[in-house]
Chains A and B, each alone.
Chain A
Amino acid sequence: MSENKNSIVIVGATSAMAEHCARLWVAGQAIDLTLLGRNRAKTEAVAADLRVRSPQSTIRVMEANFGDPRQIRAAVDGIVAGGLPTAVLIAHGSLPDQQTCQDDLAMAAEAMYVNGISPALFAEAFAGHMQRANRGTLTIIGSVAGERGRKSNYVYGAAKGLVTRYAEGLQHRLAGTGVKVVLVKPGPTATPMTAHLPQRGMAGVESVAAQIVAATAKGQPVLYTPGKWALIMLVIANLPRAIFNRMDI
């Protein structure tokens, strides 16, 4: 990677949140961007869009199997061999149907892997490189769903809870170093992942992405986006069980 451009890596670059972050990053200045995706054709479509938006940026596409720890390690090592990025955004995930996961344990296992373990392993792999270099920002997308298990989506919530604990652990380990770990907890956001749900009350993906980009620049440890979710989750997480269990959420 060239030394004079900011270099950013996005894992799960076809997620709508990641894609909108990428649009903001290339809009700000010409950057060196690596997009890592599970599906090359889909990731190439994202890259083509970004090249139209920023012909001066360098945009690279890589494909990897996100379900295989060895491939995760190899992909991360391969990227870092070309130069340590200034920032990494780990953004992949998929919203599973709770009922399907209850009926089919294989679906539950896959949902927990893709939303929890896989992002944590990517974070672990990048964190080692960043710690050795004593620099870099690692931004990980968690979710407000990870704060307290709810009947409507606890499989997804459990996986995102894992991401939260993992990010906290990394923050503890890397405290006092030059490495920053940013944990993002978006509320419900209007993206293709949620497009089949009622849209009222959902945040716009553009404003969520803008907050993620700003938090990454600052190295802010925790970002609730939109901000009101910090308060909402404070209440929900502390509701007495007797009240919580009567709620249909």
Chain B
Amino acid sequence: MAVVMVSSWGRLGQWEHELRPLADRMQLSRALQGAGPGLAHGMGRSYGDVCLNPGGVLWRTTGLDRFISFDQDSGLLRCEAGVLLRDIQRLAIPRGWMLPVTPGTQLVTVGGAIANDVHGKNHHALGSFGDQVRRIELLRTDGSHLMCGPAENPGWFAATVGGLGLTGVIGSADIQLRPVAGPWLETETLPYTSLDEFFQLADASEAAWEHTVSWIDCLSGRGRGIFLRANHCAIEGPVAPAVRPRTMPFTPPVSLVNKLSLAPFNFAYFNLQKSRTGMGVAHYESYFYPLDKLHEWNRMYGPKGFYQYQSVVPRAAGRAAVQAMLEAISDSGEGSFLAVLKTFGEREALGMLSFPQPGVTLALDFPNRGESTLRLFERLDAIVAEAGGRIYMAKDARMPRALFEAGYPRLAEFLHYRDPGISSAMSRRLMGN
């Protein structure tokens, strides 16, 4: 077996792995035997170390990409775990169905979406990805396999949704799609100039708008940004845009996101979006997945890679915590271009280690500048901890164990469900093995 260097989406480094493809659903149990600690790995779109197992085996799931059945009347889809969300959307939307919850890229697998319990812009309306899953086929490295869902082995289900791939390998899943009239959304773009204004917009939009999100200019220091809200709509006429994805052709020697570029970037972006203020119509691919148009955009951050820092803090402390984080960033001289601020709805996620919780979530990308970047994260950690928040593991490469344990109070319960034949860089860092 060849040893291959693998990195995650943040490109903070690359590590030796033995890659073993999973492609035959009937032979999965056998394929998982005798590997030493392994880890399922799909598209590698998580940013930190949740999808890595340096020195060990990665079971590549991208060959497990078959649909198994689809009920046109009920919208229930059964598929293998390596199917891409993109392929589900393209199959279902022309038939009047759609994934109810989707993250900011559709180039992820169903297994990865479950294991990280990903969320989208409509959390307040429909929850996270796990809320749409009706059944999971879970394969354990001891050769056993089990089915779990909301009513069947619910403990296993709650451990596996958001379970970071550590409870077993997901072979297939049943996902309940939602009916849609077509691929279009009606959108509204609203600039805001303060955090208070953001929270007013978010609260006012919850009832009537399914999708809400905002981009925040974290350099402005005042919490200025652009609020985007959208609903699915039934319009006829527009032809789907023929977008040909481009690929970032090389890794620049230094991050293109840096002190010189950030201020003009953010200024230009704010004003560009501001000029689009008002109502519009958007195709779902450009609305949900704008970054999928530039393949390998993560190379933009240069050879040292980048961190994403995404936290959620409860609403009561949220306004002050977000303000404090923005100030800490502004003080530090580190900057973030893709800063996203969004409220989560009043619902607890079903996974024991799921990220979403009621409150407000802030996601920030930072070029890796070594110690100074890590020092900023320590300041942000303190703010998150004090506010009673948590960090999103799909994005994390460095949070300290104490913050993890404080943020995820169901950890002890989760550990009973771990598969001893599965380990990741993250599980070793945060759970000891």
A45-B25 Cα distance, complex, nearest whole Å: 8
Q: Is the CB of B2 within 8 A of A198?
A: yes
Of the candidates A49, A55, A195, A196, the one whose C-beta lies within 8 Å of that of B68 is A49
Task: Please give the distance in Å from B2's CB to the nearest CB on chain A.
Answer: 5
Q: Is the CB of A196 within 8 A of B63?
A: no
Overall SS of chain A's interface:
helix
- Whether, in the assembled complex, A231 has its beta carbon less than 8 Å from a beta carbon of chain B, the answer is no
A48-B69 Cα distance, complex, nearest whole Å: 7
Q: Is the CB of A49 within 8 A of B67?
A: yes
- Whether, in the assembled complex, B283 has its beta carbon less than 8 Å from a beta carbon of chain A, the answer is no
Q: Is the CB of A196 within 8 A of B20?
A: yes
- Chain A contacts for B186, CB-based, 8 A: none
- Whether, in the assembled complex, A16 has its beta carbon less than 8 Å from a beta carbon of chain B, the answer is yes
Residues 15-27 of B, flagged 1 when their CB comes within 8 A of A and 0 if not, give 0001111111110
Q: Is the CB of B67 within 8 A of A196?
A: no
Q: Is the CB of A53 within 8 A of B91?
A: yes
- Chain A contacts for B268, CB-based, 8 A: none
Task: Please give the distance in Å from B299's CB to the nearest CB on chain A.
Answer: 13
Which residues of chain A have a CB within 8 Å of any CB of chain B? Answer: 16, 41-42, 45-46, 48-49, 52-53, 55, 191-192, 195-199
- Chain B contacts for A41, CB-based, 8 A: 26
Q: Is the CB of A195 within 8 A of B67?
A: no
Of the candidates B4, B5, B70, the one whose C-beta lies within 8 Å of that of A196 is B4
Task: Please give the distance in Å from B51's CB to the nearest CB on chain A.
Answer: 15
- Chain A contacts for B21, CB-based, 8 A: 192, 195-196
Chain B residue, CB-CB nearest to A195:
B21
Question: 20 A-B residue contacts at CB 8 Å?
Answer: A16-B63, A42-B24, A42-B26, A45-B25, A45-B68, A48-B67, A48-B69, A49-B66, A52-B69, A52-B70, A53-B67, A53-B91, A191-B63, A192-B21, A192-B22, A195-B60, A196-B1, A198-B2, A198-B4, A198-B5
Q: What is the number of contacts between chain A and chain B, taking CB atoms within 8 Å?
A: 53
Tell whether A195 pairs with B63 under 8 Å between CB atoms, given A45-B25, A52-B68. yes
A191-B23 Cα distance, complex, nearest whole Å: 9
Task: Please give the distance in Å from B404's CB to the nearest CB on chain A.
Answer: 31
B residues 167-195 near A (Cβ < 8 Å) are none
Task: Please give the distance in Å from B246's CB to the nearest CB on chain A.
Answer: 15
A186-B69 Cα distance, complex, nearest whole Å: 31
**Most chain A beta-carbon contacts within 10 A, residue among B4, B19, B20, B66:** B66
- Chain A contacts for B19, CB-based, 8 A: 195-197
Chain B residue, CB-CB nearest to A191:
B63
- Chain B contacts for A16, CB-based, 8 A: 23, 63
Q: Is the CB of B68 within 8 A of A48?
A: yes
Q: Is the CB of A45 within 8 A of B66?
A: yes
A45-B64 Cα distance, complex, nearest whole Å: 10
Task: Please give the distance in Å from A195's CB to the nearest CB on chain B.
Answer: 3
B residues 68-84 near A (Cβ < 8 Å) are 68-70, 72
Q: Is the CB of A48 within 8 A of B24?
A: no
Task: Please give the distance in Å from A196's CB to the nearest CB on chain B.
Answer: 5
B residues 1-43 near A (Cβ < 8 Å) are 1-2, 4-5, 18-26
A192-B72 Cα distance, complex, nearest whole Å: 30
A48-B18 Cα distance, complex, nearest whole Å: 31
A70-B70 Cα distance, complex, nearest whole Å: 39
